[in-house]
Amino acid sequence: MALANMLRVVARAPCTGVDIQQRDAAARAMVSVDQVGKRFAARGGAGAFSALEDVSMQVRDGEFVSILGPSGCGKSTLLRMVAGLVPCDDGRILLDGGAVAGPVHDIGVVFQTSNMLPWLTVGANIRLGAKLRNLPRERIEARLPALLDTLGLTQFADRYPHELSGGMRQRAAIGQILLLEPRVMLMDEPFGALDALTRDRLNVELLRIWQQSTLTVLLVTHSIHEAVFLSDRVLVMSERPGRVLHDVKIELPRPRQPDEVKADPKYGEYVSELSKMMGVF
């Protein structure tokens, strides 16, 4: 099948309602975004501008979905709304069928920069969120060594954040979320500060963790290559006000290793098509 035939343009649903088939699909989705809009006040009090308009998308239970789009199109705002950190002005967001009205324990968020406390060690920082959630100490300590090893931080567990590189701090921030065992992990450019080799390694480790769990992942990234390598589907957003224009299914075999995937002609085709959608060439 030609790659062009695999691409689906996502039509905006009418404001008058959703048909039965769409409702059934939403009920099966882990994350459902239905005709969501967001407006912000302009600087100087000159009215408001729309950051997002009529955004609809779904992420199925256990699926890995990436979002691509030009800078300023509202990708990060959308992620924060899914997390319940920012309210919607229009539409609704559902988590496993229930409305998202604020932060929920089943969603973990990894931001672009880490939020580690400088007076705590790396190990203590990673444990902190789990302790605040009152997870059993035995459960935390049983999972921590393997998690540190996966993140390449075993030898740094007793170090402090200022002793780590930016990439190491970001890996620790990812560890904070993974230790909480959320059902959904939202990631906002989590690997942007890492060198290429470390980024590839963590991509592979993230896929391994995802494949061994029931985790649902929604990733915001500017890297077309990363989106294709990691994802089951890639959503492409428009210029502001952001809308979902394309929903591309990535039909590459799993498990995925960088060398094998990048040697697959279909990988290059996906990158080329998505680059065209993004206006890269």
Q: What is the pTM of this model?
A: 0.83
Q: Is residue 15 part of a domain?
A: no
Stretch 108-131: mean pLDDT: 89
Give the structural domain span for 95: 28-106+182-281
In this prediction, residue 277 has a pLDDT band, given cuts at 50, 70 and 90, of very high
Tell me: pLDDT of 120 over 60: yes
Q: Do residue 153 and residue 49 come from a single domain?
A: no
In this prediction, residue 10 has a pLDDT band, given cuts at 50, 70 and 90, of very low
Stretch 226-234: mean pLDDT: 96
Say if CB 91 and CB 37 are below 8 A apart: yes
Stretch 166-184: mean pLDDT: 87
The predicted structure's pLDDT at residue 237:
96
Stretch 73-95: mean pLDDT: 95
Q: Do residue 97 and residue 120 come from a single domain?
A: no
Q: Do residue 238 and residue 254 come from a single domain?
A: yes
Q: Do residue 194 and residue 169 come from a single domain?
A: no
Q: Do residue 224 and residue 269 come from a single domain?
A: yes
Q: Is residue 58 part of a domain?
A: yes
Which stretch of 79-83, 132-136, 148-152, 177-181 has the lowest confidence by average pLDDT?
148-152
Select from 151, 180, 209 the last residue of a domain. Answer: 180
d(CA 144, CA 234): 31
Q: Is residue 5 part of a domain?
A: no
Select from 180, 197, 231 the last residue of a domain. Answer: 180
In this prediction, residue 192 has a pLDDT band, given cuts at 50, 70 and 90, of confident
The predicted structure's pLDDT at residue 26:
43
Q: Is residue 21 part of a domain?
A: no
How many domains is the chain built from?
2
Q: Do residue 186 and residue 168 come from a single domain?
A: no
Q: Do residue 33 and residue 130 come from a single domain?
A: no
Q: Do residue 144 and residue 71 come from a single domain?
A: no
CA atoms within 13 A on the CB side of 277: 24
The predicted structure's pLDDT at residue 45:
62
